[in-house]
Amino acid sequence: MNVLIAYGTTEGQTRKIAERMARDVSERGHSVELHDALKSDAHLDLEKFHAFVLAGSVHQEQHQKVIKNFATAHSKRLNAIPAAFVSVSLSAALEETRPEAQSYVDRFVSLTGWQPRMTLLLGGALRFAEYDYFQEQVVKFIVMRRGLASEDGADHEFTDWNALDRFVDEFLERAKA
Ligand SMILES: Cc1cc2nc3c(=O)[nH]c(=O)nc-3n(C[C@H](O)[C@H](O)[C@H](O)COP(=O)(O)O)c2cc1C
């Protein structure tokens, strides 16, 4: 299969996640193209892909504008092929805040008109070196509100890599079928 993985990232964690998925897909014998949604998609011919994954992260309760635009622009094609959405946030890292993570996805789906056949809510990361003062305050507030470990300003990765690998496997199985 030809698989397209498009992603939007602000501090880099979703790029890392998209790269891991691309590695998984290629290790399972498929061809894969990775696309940063910040770049022009004029060269992308979506018709040549058999399966598609879009990954984006949440900032102030919203996914990146670039991935919203991408999903909206291509919703017709994406609704026609096996297509999955990976939503990266801090809310996804804790059982009690997963409904919040799901609500970001619900809003994304209603805005874009794309109905992903599979969705993964995946924990992101704290990268304090990447934040300006305002972002740092926002993140500290989120971390405190959610009772996540890193209130001390230390970086931390909440991404469950095994869950991601399992998700990719399941997605490829379903897409092949
Ligand atoms: C300024 C800022 C606002 C954020 N807002 C939210 C939020 O509203 N809800 C949430 O669950 N996570 C929030 N996060 C956490 C990010 O989703 C998380 O850090 C993710 O790993 C970012 O992915 P990226 O590095 O690919 O951009 C926020 C992070 C920052 C820096």
Domain encompassing residue 34 = 2-125+159-176
Q: Is residue 142 part of a domain?
A: no
Q: Is residue 103 part of a domain?
A: yes
Give the Å distance between the CA of 62 and the centre of ligand 1: 9
Q: Is residue 52 part of a domain?
A: yes
Q: Is residue 9 part of a domain?
A: yes
Nearest atom (ligand 1) to Cα of 159 = 21
Q: Is residue 165 part of a domain?
A: yes
Ligand 1 near 9 CB (within 6 A): yes
Number of domains the chain contains: 1
Q: Is residue 131 part of a domain?
A: no
Ligand 1 near 112 CB (within 6 A): no
Q: Is residue 130 part of a domain?
A: no
Ligand 1 near 107 CB (within 6 A): no
Q: Is residue 53 part of a domain?
A: yes
What is the per-residue pLDDT for 149?
61
3-state secondary structure the chain: CEEEEEECCCCCHHHHHHHHHHHHHHHCCCEEEEEECCCCCCCCCHHHCCEEEEEEEEECCEECHHHHHHHHHCHHHHHHCCEEEEEEECHHHCHHHHHHHHHHHHHHHHHHCCCCCEEEEEECEECHHHCCHHHHHHHHHHHHHHCCCCCCCCCEECCCHHHHHHHHHHHHHHHHC
CA-nearest residue, atom 28 of ligand 1: 59
> pLDDT tens digits, the chain, 177 residues: what are they?
999 999 999 999 999 999 999 999 999 999 999 999 999 888 889 999 999 999 999 999 999 999 999 999 999 999 999 999 999 999 999 888 999 999 999 999 999 999 999 999 999 999 888 889 988 888 888 777 776 665 566 788 999 999 999 999 999 999 998
Give the Å distance between the CA of 108 and the centre of ligand 1: 15
What is the per-residue pLDDT for 96?
87
CATH of the domain at 67: 3.40.50.360
